[in-house]
């Protein structure tokens, strides 16, 4: 009986519709529903009328879809600050489809709110919700991808800010990457591309281990468990601000929020005809190889398999600078698609920005965010009426 009382917790949620997943997961975790608020709400008005209830619950789940029509983002931030000041509870914020660069989640992150649910399909939504309800909930590492640069936060402090903003052109862009043989760097390159795209505001990307090696599970097995998340049901791993999936999670990924899908096919030597054809259907394609004499047979084997497709990019690892132009000149029709990679010691630190920008820029628009507020000093000299 004493243990039951210890684990007994309570929650309320604000949504524009009844959410059976929230109620089912909370019930499974022995968290009791006090009240559901199903409507469009002004968050500040809600706080004023329901503050006594908030003082007696453990979790407040807020769905952005229920408050965005009646509450401006600035008011959401102000109200969340008030809730944190007056109430001892955990705030769980739902904003489906949000990714890196989302200003609202970035500002909430700045306040110390880390429990975000952004999934757009039921399986991932359930897994993210379950993580938020664990004893410690999501932590800094889970949500650091939403962190905004300091100069962007200064928008609200009366300063002028110009910041790059990216918008996808194509709904989903598929990227295929494979190597001419095993252990020559395809996975390193694929993860590094994912990291590059993940650092562009408003661009959502994931890495997919579309092969049979199960290499990325080692990231979870060998990392500090405070820094990595593994969602077993969907096969998703979150680490260093990027989202990665085992092959088992592909069906869920295609229905989710991602703008770019990076498929790691492994070695072309291990791919059957169907897998090669799948690789060739991707919007952007890369083959990773080496230029040493014993690596060339694998490269020649790739030429035989890709047929007449001239839209494939080739990335060569570990090639001396003085040898690069000669090798590029001998790539025939692929000369313009030939690139030489920097040495990548850590795949989670972006390299090769020069050619990554050239290849990916045609698929995204680059705009500027400009916020200019009146100069406070000029206001002092404004003539009074």
Nearest in space to 146 (alpha carbons), one of 202, 100, 199, 203: 100
Residues 204/241, Cβ–Cβ less than 8 Å: no
In the beta sheet, which residues pair with residue 32?
Answer: 10
What is the pLDDT, as a whole number, of residue 192? 97
Residues 73/104, Cβ–Cβ less than 8 Å: yes
In the beta sheet, which residues pair with residue 10?
Answer: 32
For 272-278, the CB contacts below 8 A with 24+ separation are 276/305, 276/306, 278/176
Residues 321/311, Cβ–Cβ less than 8 Å: no
Nearest in space to 293 (alpha carbons), one of 266, 327, 328: 327
| CA 317, chain centre distance (Å) | 27
Name residues whose C-beta falls within 8 Å of residue 173's C-beta, 6 or more positions apart in sequence: 259, 260, 261, 283, 284, 363
10-residue block means of pLDDT along the chain (385 residues)?
59 96 96 95 93 93 96 94 91 92 90 93 92 91 79 45 55 92 94 94 89 88 86 88 83 75 95 94 95 93 90 93 92 93 94 93 66 44 43
Name residues whose C-beta falls within 8 Å of residue 365's C-beta, 6 or more positions apart in sequence: 166, 167, 168, 169
Name residues whose C-beta falls within 8 Å of residue 320's C-beta, 6 or more positions apart in sequence: none
What is the pLDDT, as a whole number, of residue 369? 45
Q: Name the helix (H) or strand (E) containing 4.
A: helix 2-7
Cα–Cα distance, 183 to 355 (Å, whole number)? 22
pTM strictly above 0.85: no
What is the pLDDT, as a whole number, of residue 307? 87
- Cβ of 51: how many Cβ atoms within 10 Å? 13
Name residues whose C-beta falls within 8 Å of residue 172's C-beta, 6 or more positions apart in sequence: 254, 258, 259, 260, 261
What is the pLDDT, as a whole number, of residue 200? 86
Cα–Cα distance, 139 to 136 (Å, whole number)? 7
What letter does residue 268 receive in the DSSP assignment?
Answer: G
């Amino acid at each position: 009986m004493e243990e039951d009382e210890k684990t007994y917790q309570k929650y309320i949620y604000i949504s524009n519709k009844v959410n059976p997943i929230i109620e089912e997961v909370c019930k499974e975790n022995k968290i009791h529903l006090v009240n559901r608020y199903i409507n469009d709400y002004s968050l500040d008005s809600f706080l004023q009328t329901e503050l006594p209830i908030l003082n007696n619950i453990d979790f407040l789940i807020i769905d952005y879809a229920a408050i965005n029509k009646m509450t401006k983002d600035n008011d959401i931030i102000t109200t969340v600050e008030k809730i944190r000041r007056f109430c001892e509870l955990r705030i769980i914020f739902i904003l489906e489809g949000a990714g890196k660069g989302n200003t609202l989640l970035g500002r909430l992150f700045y306040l110390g709110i880390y429990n975000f649910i952004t999934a757009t399909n039921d399986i991932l939504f359930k897994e993210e919700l379950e993580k938020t309800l664990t004893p410690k909930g999501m932590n800094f590492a889970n949500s650091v991808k939403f962190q905004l640069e300091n100069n962007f936060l200064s928008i609200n402090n009366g300063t002028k800010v110009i910041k790059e903003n990216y918008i996808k052109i194509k709904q989903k862009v598929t990227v295929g990457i494979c190597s001419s043989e095993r252990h020559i760097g395809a996975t390193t390159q694929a993860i590094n591309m994912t990291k590059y795209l993940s650092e562009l505001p408003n661009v959502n990307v994931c890495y997919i281990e579309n092969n049979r090696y199960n290499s990325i599970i080692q990231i979870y097995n060998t990392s500090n468990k405070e820094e990595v998340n593994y969602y077993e049901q969907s096969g998703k791993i979150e680490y260093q601000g990027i989202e990665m999936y085992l092959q088992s999670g592909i069906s869920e990924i295609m229905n989710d929020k991602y703008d770019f899908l990076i498929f790691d096919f492994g070695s072309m030597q291990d791919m059957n005809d169907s897998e090669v054809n799948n690789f060739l259907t991707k919007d952007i394609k890369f083959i990773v190889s080496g230029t040493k004499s014993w690596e060339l047979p694998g490269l020649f084997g790739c030429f035989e398999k890709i047929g007449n497709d001239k839209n494939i990019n080739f990335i060569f690892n570990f090639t001396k600078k003085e040898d690069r132009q000669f090798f590029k000149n001998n790539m025939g029709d692929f000369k313009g698609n030939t690139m030489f990679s920097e040495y990548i010691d850590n795949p989670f630190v972006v390299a090769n920005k020069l050619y990554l920008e050239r290849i990916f820029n045609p698929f995204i628009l680059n705009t500027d965010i400009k916020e200019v507020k009146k100069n406070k000093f000029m206001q002092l000299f404004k003539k009074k009426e």
